[in-house]
Amino acid sequence: MTLLRIEDLHVHFPVRTGRFGGTPALVRAVDGVSLSVAENETLAVVGESGCGKSTTGNAVLGLAPVTAGRILFEGQDLAGLDARARQKAWREMQVVFQDPVSALNPRRTIAQSIAEPMIIHKWAAAKITARVNELMSLVGLNPDQRDRRPGALSGGQRQRVVIARALALNPKLVICDEPVSALDVSIQSQILNLLMRLQRELGLSYLFIAHDLSVVRHIADRVAVMYLGVVVEEGPALELFATPIHPYTEALLSAIPLPDPHMRDRRDRIVLEGDLPSPLEPPAGCPFVTRCPLAEDRCSQERPKLLAVNPSHKARCHVRVTNSN
Ligand SMILES: Nc1ncnc2c1ncn2[C@@H]1O[C@H](COP(=O)(O)OP(=O)(O)O)[C@@H](O)[C@H]1O
Ligand SMILES: [Mg+2]
C-alpha cells in the first residue's frame, strides 16, 4: 500500500536579489515533483546539492511551504486535515538530518535527548525509562551509556541517538536527509546497515535523501533522481543502476568509484561541467540542457515530460525517451 504520495509539488520561495533592497524574485526550489513511498519501502531521492531534495522532505514534514500540489499520507491530503489529525500524521513521520551534532542538545544526556518526544506526549516517567533502554539497545547503543552527553560520543554513536529519538513514538515513515553524509566513510555503512535492519524489524518506510548514488545502492528499492527542482528519472534501484536512461543519471553513476580496475577502464567517465543553474532562472527547455552532452535544439526550447519507458521506470529526456514508448 502507498504510505506517502506527493503530487505535483511546487515549493517557491520569494526572495530579493541585488542591492538596495533588491528586486523581488522567486526561487523555484521544487517545481512539480510527484513521488510515492509504499509501506516497508525505501525511496531514495538523489541529486546535487541545491536541487530541492531537502525542500521536498521539509514540505512533507510541514517545515517548508507548499506553493502548489498535494501531499497525501495514508491516502489523506494533509492540507485537508484538521490541526489535530495533521499533528497525528506528522507524529507518524519522523526525520533524521545530516548533522547529529546540531540535532542534539550538548547539555542533555543521551537518555534525556531520546526521551524528548515522549515527554512532549506526557508519558509516565517509568514508561519513558523503559522505552529509552529499549530504543538504545535497538539502535546498538549500550543502555549503560544513557547518562553520557553527546560530546563523549563518536559521530556514528550520535547518529544512533538521533535515530533512537526518531523511533520513540513508532513512526511509519522516516525521512532520512543525508543521514550519513557527515560521517566517516568507515562509519557510513554501519549506519546504513542499522537503518536496513530497523526497516526489516519495524516495517518502516524511508524517504532517503542523498547527494550521490553510491550511498543508496544497497538501501534503495526505488530511486528518484532530481535536477533543479524536478525528477529527471525514477525507477527500481537495480534497473536504474544497470540501465540508466537520463544522461544526468549516467553522469552521477560514472562518478561512483568502481572497485574493479578493468571495469574502471572500460567505463566512460562523464564529467559534469559547471554548476547547477540558479533555480531563480531555470533554463527554458530541459533543466539539464546547459550541461548535457546529448543536447539538441529542441532541448533548449521545449521542456521534456517525465515519460514511462516501462511501467515502473520513467525519464525526462527528449533524446532518450520519445512519446512512442
Ligand atoms: N527558505 C529558503 N528561502 C530561499 N531559498 C531557499 C530556501 N530553502 C531552500 N532554498 C533554495 O532552494 C533550492 C533547493 O534547496 P534544498 O532543497 O536545500 O536543496 P538540496 O537539499 O537538494 O541540497 C536551493 O537553491 C536553495 O538555495
Ligand atoms: Mg539538503
Residues framing ligand 1 (Cβ under 6 A): 13, 15, 27, 29, 47, 49-55, 279
Q: How confident is the model at residue 17 (pLDDT cuts 50, 70, 90)?
A: confident
Q: What does the pLDDT average to over 278-297?
A: 92
pLDDT, residue 324, reads 56
Assess if CATH 3.40.50.300 describes domain 2-92+171-243.
Answer: yes
The whole-angstrom separation of Cα 108 and Cα 119 is 14
Nearest to 72 by CA among 10, 9, 4, 11: 4
- For the chain, give every domain's residue range: 2-92+171-243
- Of residues 322 and 70, the one with the higher pLDDT is 70
pLDDT, residue 258, reads 64
> Which of 6, 13, 61 to mutate to test ligand 1, by most ligand atoms within 8 A of the CB atom?
13
Burial of 92 (0-12, 13-18, 19+ CB in 10 A): middle
DSSP conformation class of 199 = H
Q: What is the side-by-side strand order in the sheet with 23-38?
A: 23-38, 2-17, 68-73, 76-77
Q: What does the pLDDT average to over 282-303?
A: 94
Q: What percent of the chain has pLDDT over 90?
A: 84
pLDDT tens per residue across span 198-250 = 999 999 999 999 999 999 999 999 999 999 999 999 999 999 999 999 999 99
> Which of 11, 26, 55, 215 to mutate to test ligand 1, by most ligand atoms within 8 A of the CB atom?
55
Q: What does the pLDDT average to over 64-85?
A: 96
Q: What does the pLDDT average to over 73-81?
A: 96
Q: What does the pLDDT average to over 154-176?
A: 97
The pLDDT mean for the chain works out to: 93
pLDDT, residue 325, reads 46
The pLDDT of residue 2 is above 80: yes
64 CA closest ligand 1 atom index: 1
pLDDT tens per residue across span 87-128 = 999 999 999 999 888 899 999 999 999 999 999 999 999 999
pLDDT, residue 223, reads 98
Phi first, then psi: give them for residue 259, nearest 5 degrees. -70, -30
Sign of the four-CA dihedral 159, 161, 163, 165:
negative
Q: What percent of the chain has pLDDT over 70?
A: 94
End-to-end CA distance of the chain: 27
Q: Atom 27, ligand 1: which residue's CA is nearest?
A: 50
pLDDT tens per residue across span 253-280 = 988 766 666 655 555 666 777 778 888 8
pLDDT, residue 268, reads 62
Q: What does the pLDDT average to over 164-179?
A: 98
Which of 9-18, 56-65, 89-98 shows the lowest mean pLDDT across its residues? 9-18
